[in-house]
Structure 1
Amino acid sequence: MISPAPPYRTQLGPLLVRHRLARGWSQRRAAAELCAAAGVATLSRHEVSRWERQRRVPGGFWLGWLAVVLDVPPMVLAEAAARTRRTGPSAVGGSGRRGAPAARPAGRAGGGRARPRPGGTTRGGGARAAANR
């Protein structure tokens, strides 16, 4: 059996997951506990998920409250956050979306907006566009 990585080598995402699950909390519960402790109602479970998947790294404000809520020494979280920032999001999370291409396919120009057709109409629009014609 492989032992878990020592806390001083762990990146932030796995560290947060381990401590959250040790308390039996969902991501929603962790977000609620953080909001209650910080007195801020703007943190969602989606942001907790981003931190755990290492798509984002929390700043000093949230690292401090994570230390309080998860009962982890602040220095451990700060070092894990610094390690995660150095290695970047691809070290754990990959491309971020399942099945998503790494880059935009070649041959498609522009921002994906419909171009005007002669007569001032655009392509598509479904039933709403048909009803307005």
Structure 2
Amino acid sequence: MRTLERCLALALLLVGAIGIHGASGLSLWDEYTVGPGAAPITYGAILMVCAAVVAVKPSGGGPIDWGPYFPRAISLLVLAAGLAFSIDYIGFTGGLFAFSFAGLAFVARLPPLKALALAAIWVALLYFVFVHLLNIPFPRGLWI
């Protein structure tokens, strides 16, 4: 019988494997300090070990009852994938705004004007913190 714990553990195993695979091309050491691949590979390995322990020996949770939340969870994953693929075209700022607005309007079911305002405030705050305070530029897209 599948349990929610086991499903989440298997999903985290997959996330850890994807993280390790994505960081496998980065160097682990750079001169006398750790390289850019050290943290993602270490975190991915820790995540996979912890998830494997839970997957092998779940604590005996009941069967999965997805209830009304499954379509909303799937739509959030689809929106996240849309954000990842839209960055090349509309930039990170535009993609994050679209993701935030759609997530607030459709997943959280906020009124459209409130979702629009909250998404704009959220993106403006992130832009200010990362671009102006930390000097970390957001990726620009082809159109924006």
TM-score by length of 2: 0.24
**Greater helix percent: which structure?**
2
Larger-gyration structure (1/2): 1
TM-score by length of 1: 0.25
